[in-house]
Chains A and B, each alone.
Chain A
Amino acid sequence: QKEVEQNSGPLSVPEGAIASLNCTYSDRGSQSFFWYRQYSGKSPELIMFIYSNGDKEDGRFTAQLNKASQYVSLLIRDSQPSDSATYLCAVTEDNFNKFYFGSGTKLNVKP
């Protein structure tokens, strides 16, 4: 059974701060790592993905991957109240089809 673990939160940060969201996975064969954002009552939407060890930046978002530690994280700089949502970590070992999702971390950004 492939496990993807996330702290359910809620994680509360003040507006303008850096939010750090973490995810660990059990399957060393995992190849690709995705972060989705899900607003309450809405569908998941992709924020970004990462394949290689290290950092990948996209605007205010940075994904960090450490395959040796089986750890992936998402940093959100200059957090805004509109970032308040549940963030889902997903891993896949194949070509972007069979995703295993974590249970999500709820983020609250306080004005």
Chain B
Amino acid sequence: DAGVIQSPRHEVTEMGQEVTLRCKPISGHDYLFWYRQTMMRGLELLIYFNNNVPIDDSGMPEDRFSAKMPNASFSTLKIQPSEPRDSAVYFCASRRTGQETQYFGPGTRLLVL
């Protein structure tokens, strides 16, 4: 069974540009999570969805960040406009109701110049 798929794996962009990160959860998983990992702040939960509905977005740093889940197999995290302090590794994870484990994707390494 395929794991969580994220694209792109690496993204380099300039300050002010729009960045879109993509995630495909494991088939059958009804929870999807977006995390950000930096050296300074560690691994932080940004937002999570259940059955495509955003449940908790309290970790989203500011209005420049938005996330959508138009269907059960696809989610996006968008940053507009991007800033150098957004440079981080962004992970997507998914989980099935009844299971404790969140399965992480390979991450997207974002560098904003």
Contacts and interface: CB of A to CB of B under 8 A. Distances in A.
Given A97-B56, A99-B45, A101-B44, A43 B104 contact: yes
27 contacts: A32-B100, A34-B100, A42-B106, A43-B91, A43-B106, A43-B107, A44-B43, A46-B101, A46-B102, A49-B100, A49-B101, A88-B43, A96-B99, A97-B48, A97-B50, A97-B55, A97-B56, A98-B45, A98-B48, A98-B56, A99-B45, A99-B102, A101-B42, A101-B43, A101-B44, A103-B42, A104-B42
Interface string A37-59: 00000111110010000000000
Contacts of A96: 95, 99-100, 102
Interface in B86-100: 91, 95, 99-100
Interface of B: 31, 33, 42-45, 48, 50, 55-56, 91, 95, 99-107
On chain A, which size bracket covers the interface?
Answer: 10 to 19
Contacts, number: 41
Contacts of A46: 101-103
